[in-house]
Structures are given as structure tokens and as C-alpha cells.
A and B are shown apart, each in its own frame.
Chain A
Amino acid sequence: QVQLQESGPGLVKPSETLSLTCTVSGGSISTHYWTWIRQSPGKGLEWIGDIFYTGTPTYNPSLKSRLTISVDTSKKQFSLNLASVTAADTAVYYCARVDTIDAVDLFDYWGQGILVTVSS
């Protein structure tokens, strides 16, 4: 059973960088794409970006200028860095596995989520 666990600080100051890590267990990190999704009261569920184990990311254009997603296969982890955060980046951040069935991408395994608050 694949399991994902987010980790990182729950409080980030405005203008600083939000950094989160997702650790994958119970399966290989080298067989799927992996993704970050966030959920805020104001914007609902928002897809942030994907990465494959080879390290090629795909970003949501609305966040691309501030976003870096990377993967460390030796640790079975992938990470999110979001720079220059504001209060609008306050959300629950989820990591998830992307599966592709009949050419349709879907998110089949999710972490429990981590609340990140941007505040001074």
C-alpha cells in the first residue's frame, strides 16, 4: 500500500520561501509522476505541479515564477519550494501520486496534508 507523508514548517513569514517534502513509502518512486495540490478556503483545490523521477517538472503557470519542484529518488522524496509567499499562499498542502489509466491522469494516493500558514 503506497503511503505519502508531507513534512515541513507550518508557519512561514511573508516574502520567505515555503519548503515542503513528501516521503513515499510502500512503493517505488520511479514508476509514477508525483504531484503537489493545495486547498485554501478562497480558491478550493489547486493543482501546483508534477514531477517524474527523472526530475522533469511541470508547473501550474499561475505559480511557475515562484515554484520549484524536485525529486530525490535515493530518499524516496519529492519537494516543493514556493518563493516570495503571501497570505494568499496559506493553505493545506497535499502531495499525491499521479497514475495514468487510458491516457487519463488521476490522483490515486494522497498524503494527509499539512497546513501552512503565511503570517509574520
Chain B
Amino acid sequence: DIQMTQSPSSLSASVGDRVIITCRASQSITRYLNWYQQKPGKAPKLLIYTTSTLQSGVPSRFSGGGSGTDFTLTISGLQPADSATYYCQQSYSAPRTFGQGTKLEIK
């Protein structure tokens, strides 16, 4: 199985800040990387697919990048609504696997 490792596990930032969450795959997954946002008690919500394409309706302050084994999720101009846990997920090979999550707190 491909292991997905996110860092940091948690972070705290202020409204208006820019934050970067990283995701590293245990082997190359080219651009087969998706990002999800999950709020407490809710199902995960697709944010970004194929590394950098925003899902419809997702604010443009979210962006994704990377390739191979190293990927980033950037949130520019943090908003209170961005408080959530973020997960990366690879679709390069089965079984599809997720990162362990990054919990983002807004100060």
C-alpha cells in the first residue's frame, strides 16, 4: 500500500494568514492526489483533485501543488470557516489511501 504522510498534524493560525499543509507519498503517485476538508460531525468534502484543480464551489483561496511524492495544500487569506481537518488521498493505485489528517485551528 502507498503510505500518505501529512505535516503538520495540527496547526493554529490567524484570520488572513497563509498556511501550507504538506502531504508526502511513500512512492511516486505522479499527480493522482486529492484533498478533502472535514468539519466535526460531517463527511469529508472534496476540495481539490488531480493535485491542483479546485472542485466546483471551492473558494479560490485554496490551491494545491506538487507532483511525484510531495504535495501541498495552501490556504491564502484564512477565514474562520476554514477551521477543519484536511486530508490528502492518493488515487494512483489500489488500495486508495488517505493521509492521517491536519487539524487547522483559527485563532
Contact = CB atoms under 8 A, between A and B. Distances in A.
Contact of B32 (A58, A104, A107): A104
B44 A58 contact: no
A94 B43 contact: yes
Give the dominant DSSP class at A's interface. strand
A107 B46 contact: yes
B33 to A, nearest CB: 8
Interface residues of A, number: 22
B49 interface: yes
Contacts, number: 54
Interface string B38-63: 00001111100110010100000000
A108 B46 CA distance: 6
Interface in B67-107: 87, 89, 91, 94-101
30 contacts: A44-B87, A44-B98, A44-B101, A45-B44, A45-B101, A47-B95, A47-B96, A47-B98, A58-B94, A94-B43, A94-B44, A101-B50, A101-B53, A102-B50, A103-B32, A104-B31, A104-B34, A104-B50, A105-B91, A105-B96, A106-B46, A106-B91, A107-B44, A107-B89, A108-B55, A110-B43, A110-B44, A112-B42, A112-B43, A113-B43
